Amino acid sequence: MARALLARFANRISTPDLRLAPNDPLSFGRLRIELLSGLTVALALVPEAVAFAFVAGVHPLVGLYAAFMVGLITAVFGGRPGMISGATGALAVVMVALVAKHGVEYLFATVVLMGLIQIFAGIMRWGKFIRLVPHPVMLGFVNGLAIVIFLAQLTQFKVPGTAEATGHGTSGGEWLTGIPLYTMLGLVALTMAVIWVMPRITRVIPAPLAGIVVVAAVVIGFGIDVPRVGDLASIQGGLPPFHIPAVPLNLETLEIILPYAVILAAIGLIESLLTLNLVGEMTGQRGGASQECVAQGVANTVTGFFGGMGGCAMIGQSMINVKSGGRTRIAGIAAALFLLSFILFASPLIEQIPLAALVGVMFMVVIGTFAWNSVRILTRVPRIDAFVILLVTAVTVVEDLAVAVVVGVIVSALAYAWGNATRIRAQTHITPEGAKVYRVQGPLFFGSSDGFAELFDVSGDPSKVIVDFADSRVADQSALQAIEAVAGKYEAAGKSLQLRHLSRDCHRLLKRAGHLMVDSDDDPDYEIAVDYSVRTGILGGH
């Protein structure tokens, strides 16, 4: 399995799939859309990477390098064309404690180990477990993320210039008031209006890029004094240098970085795989989860050796890319290369872009990301599903995405288990020979084992009882114990018990548990029915 996955990954490295589908030719028009979409994403990446670097307590270039390298590697080798990866807030809030306590070198070592863990998860094909995330959890995830993206943009409405002092971007400044606030709001509204109107006029230029260009031209042309990208920090720099993390190679270092690496790897994979599913729903694609795990791992491992803070999929930028028309790997590659060119050559120009334009783009992303239909269906879906949607949304905002998804999956699983636990029942009838047949319906597992025991009338039943599992399934050890307990009661009453129509996997489960099984003569087709004669002590070791 691992060899096959690595072989496919190696083949993808040698011949990356640059097209979304065989029927989507890479024409000049498609190439233009992909490049412009990548440029739009790159412009939106700059303030995000700088802000997340401040949150993590590292230099802005550490965030920008991560956005470039993680974005480039995952764009080439990832599991879903159209996805955008880079430095994210979900990882930054975990990194800040590590950086504050041990320094940035330990962060780089942690990012390397984080990547190795993600590669291992991909080789083991653990990405497939993302299928266990229920749809209500996905709705809560996108809703919570939309709110988080919205709240993150509000920091741009604060007085610039305090980022370096606070270590958290502009979050430590005072709120804009009066004319500056109204100007900022007006430019944000103008950006959103251009994005909304542009597709109705032409699709030659992606609407978000048009909004950025128009507002930037207005601000620069009229000399309007508003916060700009350069007010966050200078993005000028060189190529990311190769750098082995300067940490002692001993068990003490491993004890420090391992807990952070595991948490970061889990958060990164959960956010990336959920984004993969979301983009897949929008573009009609499936699969690629394990490949995405490997790609994220390789990207973070490499990033750790080049002075980056690591990253994962970015749902906001992915939505910008998809809505701008980006459908192939070219858009993600272009976004990464444009970002690098900003750092190397175009920093003075990019630093003049008003933050209002980028905030307007992200506000439109919020509107497009939020699942508005989930609000309408809250009163129509089962109450537990509505509760899960609201719960995951709230936890996403209060805690983080990974915790919210885990909580949502646990609540959904418990609700499912309880629902199945209450469905166990049995239909009874008496055979011409005088035996009583219990036809069990519903799964028999840990949640329904007590209900299963209550189905039987041991004292009132005849000397022979047949339990038919044609409409049921024995699922776990608790189910086996429940069968043994019922059999023991019939044995104590001097009666016999016969089991019929167990599925093959249930038959194997019973056999592994060490029980002797005899095929029933009246059920030759199944060849797996079990006949327990309790009087002879076959069941339960009696």
Q: Is 306 exposed, middle or buried (0-12, 13-18, 19+ CB in 10 A)?
A: middle
CA dihedral 211, 212, 215, 218 (to 10 degrees): -120
Q: Tell me the Cα Rg of the chain.
A: 29
pLDDT tens sequence across 401-417: 778 888 999 999 888 88
- Residue pair 113/258 in contact (Cβ under 8 Å)? The answer is yes
Share of the chain above pLDDT 70, in %: 85
Closest CA to 522 of 464, 477, 482: 464
Q: Does residue 432 sit in the same domain as residue 369?
A: no
What does the alpha-carbon distance between residue 488 and residue 482 come to, in Å, rounded to a whole number? 10
Reported as a pLDDT band with limits 50, 70 and 90, residue 110 is very high
- 375-407 tens-digit pLDDT: 888 988 889 999 999 999 999 888 877 788 889
Given a cut of 70, is residue 172 above it in pLDDT?
A: no
Among 371, 145, 394, CA closest to 275: 145
192 and 74 in a common domain = yes
Residue 350: which of 47, 71, 66 has the closest Cα?
Answer: 47
Is 282 part of any domain? yes
Average of pLDDT values for 235-245?
A: 93
List C-alpha distances in Å: 358 to 43, 47, 228, 391, 483: 8, 8, 10, 30, 63
343 found inside a domain: yes
More confident of the two residues 439 and 499: 439
Residues 113, 295: Cα–Cα separation, whole Å? 14
Domain limits for position 505: 422-541
Residue 334 has pLDDT above 60, yes or no: yes
Whether residues 320 and 197 fall in one domain: yes
Alpha-carbon span 177 to 385, nearest angstrom: 42
214 lies in the same domain as 328: yes
Q: Which residue has the higher pLDDT, 510 or 333?
A: 333
Domain boundary among 318, 342, 376: 376
Q: Are residues 359 and 489 in the same domain?
A: no
Alpha carbon separation from 476 to 116, 444, 507, 533, 541 (Å, rounded): 34, 8, 12, 22, 19
> Looking at the domain assignment, is residue 213 inside a domain?
yes
Alpha helices in 57-88 (DSSP H): 60-77
pTM of the predicted protein model: 0.74
For range 444-461, the mean pLDDT: 88
Return the bridge partners of 430, or none: 436
The SS3 assignment for 231 reads: helix
Q: Does a structural domain hold residue 305?
A: yes
- Whether 264 and 66 have beta carbons less than 8 Å apart is answered as no
Contact (Cβ atoms closer than 8 angstroms) between residue 63 and residue 306: no
**Structure confidence by residue, pLDDT tens digits, 339-363:** 999 999 999 999 999 999 989 988 9
Q: Which of 37-41, 432-436, 465-469, 525-529 has the lowest mean pLDDT?
A: 525-529
* Per-residue pLDDT tens over the stretch 186-222: 999 999 999 999 989 988 888 899 999 999 999 999 9
475-511 confidence digits (pLDDT tens): 787 888 888 888 888 888 888 888 888 767 666 666 6
Tell me the three state secondary structure of residue 481: helix
Residues 110 and 98: beta-carbon distance below 8 Å: yes
Decide if 20 is inside a domain: no
333 with 426, same domain: the answer is no
Domain end call among 340, 361, 376? 376
Q: Where are the beta strands (DSSP E) in 178-272?
A: none
Contact 24, 30 (CB under 8 A): yes
In this prediction, residue 531 carries a pLDDT of 44
Comparing CA positions, the residue from 500, 498, 494, 488 lying closest to residue 533 is 498
Whether residue 433 sits in one domain with residue 355:
no
What's the CATH code of the domain at 536? 3.30.750.24
Query: Greater confidence, 281 or 301?
Result: 301
pLDDT value of position 507 = 65
Residue 19: pLDDT band (50, 70, 90) is very low
The residue assigned the tokens 């036809």 is: 439
More confident residue, 118 or 517: 118
Query: Cα–Cα distance between 55 and 93 in angstroms, integer?
Result: 7
385 within domain boundaries: no
Q: Is residue 45 part of a domain?
A: yes
Q: Show which of 376, 404, 437 is a domain's final residue.
A: 376
Half-sphere exposure for 375 (CA within 13 Å, toward CB):
5
Q: What pLDDT shows up at residue 22?
A: 36
- The maximal CA–CA distance of the chain, rounded, in angstroms, is 98
What amino acid occupies position 320? I
* 3-state SS record for 375-410: HHCCCCCCHHHHHHHHHHHHHHHHCCHHHHHHHHHH
Question: What confidence score (pLDDT) does residue 4 get?
Answer: 54
Angle at 99 between CA 98 and CA 101, to 5 degrees: 65
Res 455 pLDDT > 80:
yes
Between CA 196 and CA 211 the distance in angstroms is 9
Query: What pLDDT is stored for residue 496 in this prediction?
Result: 85
Does 458 reside within a domain? yes
Among 221-230, 387-396, 527-536, which is the least confidently predicted range?
Answer: 527-536
DSSP three-state, residue 496: strand
DSSP state of 358: H
Same domain, residue pair 132 and 276: yes
Residues 72-85 as b or e (16 or more Cβ within 10 Å = b) = bbbbbbbbbbbbbb
* pLDDT over 60 (residue 540): no
Say what the pLDDT of residue 365 is: 83
Look at residue 535 in the predicted model and tell me its pLDDT: 38
pLDDT value at residue 173? 67
Say if residue 126 is in the same domain as residue 200.
Answer: yes
Same domain (yes/no): 497, 432: yes
Q: Can you read off the two tokens belonging to residue 47? A: 């303030």
**Over the stretch 265-291, which tens digit does the pLDDT of each residue have?**
988 998 899 899 888 888 777 778 999
Our measurement of the distance from residue 233's CA atom to the centroid of its chain's CA atoms, rounded to an integer in Å, reads 31
Q: Are 41 and 182 found together in one domain?
A: yes
pLDDT greater than 80 at residue 538: no
Q: Are 315 and 272 in contact (CB under 8 A)?
A: no
Count the Cβ atoms, other than its own, within 10 Å of residue 489.
17
pLDDT for 509 equals: 62
Rounded CA separation 334/329 (Å): 9
Residues 480, 540: Cα–Cα separation, whole Å: 10
Specify the pLDDT at position 428. Answer: 92
Residue 63 · residue 309 · CB < 8 Å: yes
Q: How far is residue 371's CA from residue 261's CA, in Å, rounded to a whole number?
A: 32
What is the mean pLDDT of the segment spanning 234-253?
Answer: 93
SS3 521: coil
Residues 323 and 440 in one domain: no
Average pLDDT taken over every residue of the chain: 83
Please report the pLDDT score of residue 21 as a whole number. Answer: 42
- Angle of helix 135-154 versus helix 251-283 axis, rounded to 10: 110
pLDDT at 25: 56
Q: What's the number of domains the chain is made of?
A: 2
Element (H, E) at 428: strand 425-430
